[in-house]
Structure 1
């Protein structure tokens, strides 16, 4: 018995010693070598008390790789405690406890109360070699938390919002911006630090329809019936087992005689599944497309222009052994168009509400767990990792006018002049692409026949108190001196040149993109911009095609060939971060050239960390369709909740259906407003009304022209409403610029889901068509033609005021709200303090010495009025001021606190006109404010 006890004791001691050997305490965390599982080595590093880094490798060491998105030099400044048992190691800060199994390597994260926030469920690695680049394909699955909503992942166009129980493919493409960060309503986030093509949720690819048993329209098994109709030609009927015409390679499978300009196709028949399941379908479309399943129109007509397809996803239940009728009608948009329909069975990851990140290639698995008391704190943690958001120049908060494109400098200058003559507010005019000679893309030279004096053009714009942004692409024709400068150093992607790919200009020219992953190439790119464009006085940069988009509509593997190899490794490994590297080039280049002028970049793509380069993103070449208008709301919200605060879109959509252009030409000729023109005007107005409450307010697109006075004649209801919302934007400038200041000083998010401010109300989690602009305005866009009302949900826990009528509505209910053509529903929560200024023609026209302070009764409220010089970086050195307003609802007192800080040009004395909303017969209070604490009794 004593001998048996001795052996038990020896076993326990040996087990304990083995456990100690598997855990190493580091200066900033612990390193663990689990006994089983996919990872041989796991490091858990403390960033601060709310942020934990996890690195995992199937090797015995963790590769040391410089992050592209996480800022360098993050050192733990908080204490942490490490404890160990025979089975687990535990690391604790004052806010988080991280527990790791020494057997499996699985990790869980709990808050200080012991509540589990997130825990790992499964980790896998598979070796992968691309060219001479070695790495791993890997996946991390987490057990999700019940009752949560998940947001983020960048900006996507399938009209998805809450990603709980959903999936998203993370790669960059025109209209698709992938940011590998999610945020939960349970107040945590995950930053997945990887640059390859990745997938959130289900990592499987969608499969062709031949995964089912197929039957043609007559019931014969084997395929669907495809009927090709060509105007003036014979109809082609053939059997097809897949609808897969999604890129330049697969479109070759169309019948040789099929005419995209005058043709249409119908696929019809039945599908039979071997399983009873809710299947996911992915429709890829360019042109006019509709889909029916079992006689139900599951995809009403959608449209995209021929060269820029979109993806739309939907689900449908299929029953084992039961045929489901299918019909897809497709009319190409002229020219080569694309269409595809694929499906996938449901995923256990989605069913269980799990969280999963999969990446095609990386040296190691690397992610950050970020926690906070609320969603704003989580986003603040994201910016701790990836960098502060700059304060954009104040003019950028005003209205921008653009079109594709101003073809001459006179055309551009006449637009600015017309805005000023009509007294319609304007802050920025944009010179889009092709200002260069036709054969000189990338030369940064102007076509002198159309732009004889670019410097004079810029000077003239400035004399009108307007700014000018210019489009610059990372693209160079082989004939330009700039291409040769890059090529001589080996800094160009050469696959497109080797393959003699010609673009769409004139007869077509050969060119390619520079390698933005090379630091020296970045410096050369900026030098070329500085020497040719910056010296002319341009104020801001429009970085187009920054995915990079070397050729439209290629398959993914060829896209990767065109985009590499990069200076850091294969394009497979570094596929998603090009826009971040390109933004770094211009931001740091301009700050080195002139550190007293704020940088402003607008880019068509983005990645985690983009905000630190004073860069905003727009949603790409979206279509001028109602469904695209609706999709921009969740797209913008998810992008903002990915931690990047400044986002915009082409108001009115970029790509235009032919019927709208024809109707405008008819109007120009006859003055007749036909039905298409009525719809065009209403579409643009509804989009404009929405855009007035986005972080950046910008109109752009193809013909018809987008200037306010070109959208409708003066006196027309559309014209009057366009001007109203433009002027309202400027009246709200004290509010908007304060939000912009908060984005830097407090890591704030301007465009907010309802769930961010009303997390306790789970009814808000799925609302994707309303949002908060700051916490003081709830915006409810209208996105249906001829809609004159819409359903609005009023979050619980507050009273709401109609912005226009001041009518009060109790929260916690859904109501149908009137939405006349001239207005969209707009509401203010009780407790809001809303500063409202005067109408201005440009953002710096008037000093804010006469601001109306609107106080909305019903709840205590706070607001901090932020001001600085508006155009330089002195705010980084402390040159700014804040005036804090505090309202006590019970005491009916507004306290205007002592002004904090100062800056050159600051107003020492000013007038506030305090207006109480929600109080009968309350006269405004005129307050002379000199910077000292003032109490206003209301």
Structure 2
């Protein structure tokens, strides 16, 4: 692909090749957009996830030698081979970040885009399976809608670099090197077309079709199925936090979730009545186990009116009174809603009459703004107006064709049958974007309806940009076994490294038993009566404490804490211990949530976020940082019981933990201090998930409370871990409403100077209605398990205070 000429324009470099056109467009000094087309001009379609007006007027230079054109901003250089148009990406010091093969790395292959035709003769088959209602249509014909391209972007990655991202895909792969990945939406697969490299750069692909990633015998490349041109962004960090910040600059900030969304969420498949929901909340309050949110799963509607967004009057006779009582109990309600409607319920009929349904005459067209508005109107009138607090947008793929049968189809077969099903109803160029637009409609319309209640949308799919719609992605209908628990850690880390901040899972897994279908693959037919499952559930909940959303859910067996024993038994007591820990850590967690919104921070962090200088961390897929302080090490193998309550003999209650280099680490439970750069065998009895705190950490810890809005006059404890200087920005606001966007919040900078044993509480910046003007801090200096800790209680009134120890 030889370069013929190039032209330096005001805000881009236009390159004419023997075959096609290229544009290099600096959006910032560190974000470079690259476009390539075989047409005579570039298309003018708008991106579905890149925010408008993000392109800045960035100065750039172009230098030329005999064989190379060099495009440069202050942070990035792109060296372009004149004979092949191969790109080599470098930082401002000339260090190679990555490169394309010398022969060139961009290929466009023409392909026909077929459009199905539906008419009055179209046959529609309505059905239900474990994944909900389904409607499949057989088109009467196909026509060629247009020509487009398969795109292929090739790289020569360094042997030593690690690659992360692309979303959550159920395989338990963290470092993507040497692997392949198929990016399409499906139960247990959530797509984000973002790669992040330990060499200090990211790649964001602006495509919504099926995408394939390969770094294997077939090559090293990103391939897209249907696009009008190649369009991607090269992002230079070099730190992961800077890459994420650039991603959110392009695709949108993540709004702040309400404080209650970080409390404990109790769910199961399913609570069936108004009385049952309220009784569960009351039981948590009676037992003094913290709880903030209870979830009403599917079939809140009447009979078989699947997807109807209203309450069954027999089981929920007074939903407004139900919501009032739940709120008086200081809890919230999340409700499951679906994009599919069939059986001629009122919502379905209204959508059909207005022509807002896709070809199967069941799923609403989320790509149509008027259809999204009607969907909200229905949800608002039937549910939100009664006081419902949050949405669970289930089945937002929304087309699957492989959740049947005894044998799980091969990966390539799954990819084919599922993408083919989606292409029957969605333009093949956009099959990955349904969840993005569905989330957009809910977020924008709820915000138009009220600013007093923050949007919360728990959804099963994801895409680039979805974070700006207050979406929390969960990993789908996983099965209860130890391998799944282990795999979920890497899956969540690869989701969050893309810039999507909020990810969670079903604590204890959705499927607990083992049945004929391939996906119903749990190891515990006796559910919570099985001591083996109780052990697995405890370990899963320990891990869940350190996820952005802390949520128990699943089928086959109850999930309330008292189903795992009674007070005084090890399982019950350990579950309560860790739920209480989550609530005590809320000042730390909610502050970090403030950073996510205000500073584009990432809460759940693969170790390369903070230890990119330590290659030993690159492939550690069962440990991660939760915020700046906590090294989380879930236990992912049984130590006490096998399935069937069979007691294990001789198992060692330890877990190997790698402590990253260049810092010291404290055992959270014992305060024992360790040097970094080593593997240790940490205590991991059932009551203990190994948890370490980085030296120099400042961790705000609140009092024991029963719900996030509980008011208490007890002091806020500040844990200060000696060994390094440290800082922490304490954040707080009203806990709900969007007043924080107008400045209704405060921050307090906390600083520790290690050599001087000096702690400074900075001026309180900002305020919000109802804020306490005076606070008590209980300062605790942690030095080592064998040393006495120094404590000091002070009263803080908003002005800078320095304490010497």
Structure 2 length normalisation: TM-score? 0.89
Give the superposition deviation at 1:373. Answer: 3.4
Secondary structure at 1:844 match in 2 = coil
- Report Cα offsets for 1:602-628 as digits up to 9, x if no partner: 100010111100111000000011111
Residue 640 in 1 paired to residue 503 in 2? no
Secondary structure at 1:477 match in 2 = coil
Q: What's 1:820 paired with?
A: 685
Q: Distance in 1 between matches of 2:333 and 2:245?
A: 32
Q: What's 2:531 paired with?
A: 678
Q: What's 2:438 paired with?
A: 582
Q: What's 2:542 paired with?
A: 689
1:333-732 matched pairs, under 5 angstroms: 347=217, 349=219, 354=220, 356-495=221-360, 512-549=362-399, 551-553=401-403, 559-560=418-419, 562-563=421-422, 570-658=426-514, 663=526, 677-732=530-585
Work out whether residues 80 and 86 of structure 2, in 8 Å CA contact, stay in contact via their aligned partners in 1: yes
- Report Cα offsets for 1:633-690 as digits up to 9, x if no partner: 001111110111111100000011158775359x5xxxxxxxxx11011011000000
Work out whether residues 849 and 907 of structure 1, in 8 Å CA contact, stay in contact via their aligned partners in 2: no
Residue 34 in 1 paired to residue 14 in 2? no
1:246-325 matched pairs, under 5 angstroms: none
Change (3 A) 1:195 1:127: same
Q: What's 2:800 paired with?
A: 933
Q: What's 2:720 paired with?
A: 855
Q: Distance in 2 between matches of 1:489 and 1:437?
A: 23
Q: What's 1:769 paired with?
A: 622
- Report Cα offsets for 1:337-356 as digits up to 9, x if no partner: xxxxxxxxx5152xxxx4x1
Give the superposition deviation at 1:83. Answer: 3.0
Work out whether residues 782 and 790 of structure 2, in 8 Å CA contact, stay in contact via their aligned partners in 1: no
Q: Distance in 2 between matches of 1:395 and 1:33?
A: 55
Q: Distance in 1 between matches of 2:320 and 2:340?
A: 23
Q: What's 1:247 paired with?
A: none
Work out whether residues 188 and 369 of structure 1, in 8 Å CA contact, stay in contact via their aligned partners in 2: yes
Give the superposition deviation at 1:872. Answer: 1.3
Give the superposition deviation at 1:88. Answer: 3.5
Q: Distance in 2 between matches of 1:931 and 1:754?
A: 35
Q: Distance in 1 between matches of 2:549 and 2:51?
A: 26
Q: What's 1:63 paired with?
A: 43
Work out whether residues 161 and 766 of structure 1, in 8 Å CA contact, stay in contact via their aligned partners in 2: yes
Q: What's 2:141 paired with?
A: none
Q: What's 1:151 paired with?
A: 164
Secondary structure at 2:573 match in 1 = helix
Residue 129 in 1 paired to residue 109 in 2? no
Which of 48, 59, 63 is the matching residue for 1:79?
59
Change (3 A) 1:644 1:664: closer
Q: Distance in 1 between matches of 2:482 and 2:400?
A: 29
- Report Cα offsets for 1:798-840 as digits up to 9, x if no partner: 1111101101111111111120111110110110011111011
Residue 167 in 1 paired to residue 180 in 2? yes
Give the superposition deviation at 1:559. Answer: 4.0
Secondary structure at 1:63 match in 2 = coil
Q: Distance in 2 between matches of 1:98 and 1:532?
A: 54
- Report Cα offsets for 1:366-405 as digits up to 9, x if no partner: 1000111311001111111111111110000100000000
Secondary structure at 2:100 match in 1 = strand
Work out whether residues 493 and 564 of structure 1, in 8 Å CA contact, stay in contact via their aligned partners in 2: no
Q: What's 2:607 paired with?
A: 754
Give the superposition deviation at 1:563. Answer: 3.6
Q: What's 2:200 paired with?
A: 187
Give the superposition deviation at 1:461. Answer: 0.7
Q: Distance in 2 between matches of 1:133 and 1:485?
A: 32
Q: What's 2:645 paired with?
A: none
Residue 910 in 1 paired to residue 775 in 2? yes
Moved more, 98-107 or 747-756: 98-107
CA-based RMSD of the aligned residues comes to 1.8
Q: Distance in 1 between matches of 2:737 and 2:60?
A: 40
- Report Cα offsets for 1:99-153 as digits up to 9, x if no partner: 3233322222211101111222222111111221321011100121332111111
Work out whether residues 692 and 725 of structure 1, in 8 Å CA contact, stay in contact via their aligned partners in 2: yes
Work out whether residues 311 and 382 of structure 2, in 8 Å CA contact, stay in contact via their aligned partners in 1: no
Q: Distance in 2 between matches of 1:447 and 1:416?
A: 21
Which of 196, 199, 217 is the matching residue for 2:212?
199
Which of 655, 664, 675 is the matching residue for 1:790?
655
Secondary structure at 1:475 match in 2 = coil
Give the superposition deviation at 1:713. Answer: 2.0
Over alpha carbons, which structure has the higher Rg?
A: 1
Q: Distance in 1 between matches of 2:491 and 2:527?
A: 29
Work out whether residues 259 and 708 of structure 2, in 8 Å CA contact, stay in contact via their aligned partners in 1: yes
Work out whether residues 210 and 419 of structure 2, in 8 Å CA contact, stay in contact via their aligned partners in 1: no
Give the superposition deviation at 1:556. Answer: 5.1
Give the superposition deviation at 1:551. Answer: 4.7
Work out whether residues 108 and 116 of structure 1, in 8 Å CA contact, stay in contact via their aligned partners in 2: yes
Give the superposition deviation at 1:81. Answer: 2.0
- Report Cα offsets for 1:78-98 as digits up to 9, x if no partner: 322233445433322111112
Which of 721, 733, 737 is the matching residue for 2:590?
737
Q: Distance in 1 between matches of 2:275 and 2:246?
A: 48
Q: Distance in 2 between matches of 1:868 and 1:40?
A: 53
Q: Distance in 1 between matches of 2:62 and 2:285?
A: 66
Change (3 A) 1:361 1:848: farther
Moved more, 112-121 or 654-663: 654-663
Give the superposition deviation at 1:573. Answer: 1.1
Q: What's 2:122 paired with?
A: none
Work out whether residues 790 and 819 of structure 1, in 8 Å CA contact, stay in contact via their aligned partners in 2: yes
Q: Distance in 2 between matches of 1:519 and 1:201?
A: 35
Gaps of 5+ in 1: 1-17, 203-345, 498-511, 668-676
Give the superposition deviation at 1:564. Answer: 5.3
Work out whether residues 67 and 81 of structure 2, in 8 Å CA contact, stay in contact via their aligned partners in 1: yes
Q: Distance in 2 between matches of 1:797 and 1:757?
A: 11
Q: What's 1:108 paired with?
A: 88
Residue 90 in 1 paired to residue 70 in 2? yes
Moved more, 383-392 or 875-884: 875-884
Work out whether residues 404 and 432 of structure 1, in 8 Å CA contact, stay in contact via their aligned partners in 2: yes
Work out whether residues 33 and 102 of structure 1, in 8 Å CA contact, stay in contact via their aligned partners in 2: no
Work out whether residues 584 and 613 of structure 1, in 8 Å CA contact, stay in contact via their aligned partners in 2: yes
Give the superposition deviation at 1:899. Answer: 1.3
Work out whether residues 199 and 238 of structure 2, in 8 Å CA contact, stay in contact via their aligned partners in 1: no
Secondary structure at 1:651 match in 2 = coil
Work out whether residues 47 and 53 of structure 1, in 8 Å CA contact, stay in contact via their aligned partners in 2: yes
Work out whether residues 512 and 527 of structure 2, in 8 Å CA contact, stay in contact via their aligned partners in 1: no
Work out whether residues 373 and 441 of structure 2, in 8 Å CA contact, stay in contact via their aligned partners in 1: yes
Q: Distance in 1 between matches of 2:187 and 2:31?
A: 33
Structure 1 length normalisation: TM-score? 0.77
Moved more, 381-390 or 70-79: 70-79
Work out whether residues 187 and 374 of structure 1, in 8 Å CA contact, stay in contact via their aligned partners in 2: yes
Q: What's 2:791 paired with?
A: 924
Q: How many residues align?
A: 741
Secondary structure at 1:513 match in 2 = coil
Give the superposition deviation at 1:552. Answer: 4.5
